[in-house]
Amino acid sequence: MRIIYRNQVWELQGQRRVRDAIEEVGLEPYTVLAMRDGKLLAEDAMLDEDDDVRLVAVISGG
């Protein structure tokens, strides 16, 4: 799967829960929300090998 956050992309092998994938790329789960195909994902949602997941910072805007 690909984890995309700002200008960074990580490739992870195998299945994982959202929360585990976020921690594995070195981010704190409380700082981001995860989206797949434009839909929000719960922290316990399972990700597949071929998923593209976009992480959105919780703190943003002016």
Closest to 45 (Cα-Cα) out of 33, 56, 57: 33
- Quick note: the x/- pattern for another protein over 20-39, rule CB under 8 A, is --------x-xx-x-x--xx
25/45 with CB nearer another protein: 45
Tokens representing 14? 């195998």
Q: Does 57 bind another protein (CB under 8 A)?
A: yes
Q: Does 46 bind another protein (CB under 8 A)?
A: no
**Measured CA distances, 18 to 13, 30, 38, 46, 50 (Å):** 13, 12, 15, 6, 14
Q: Which residues bind another protein (CB under 8 A)?
A: 28, 30-31, 33, 35, 38-45, 56-62
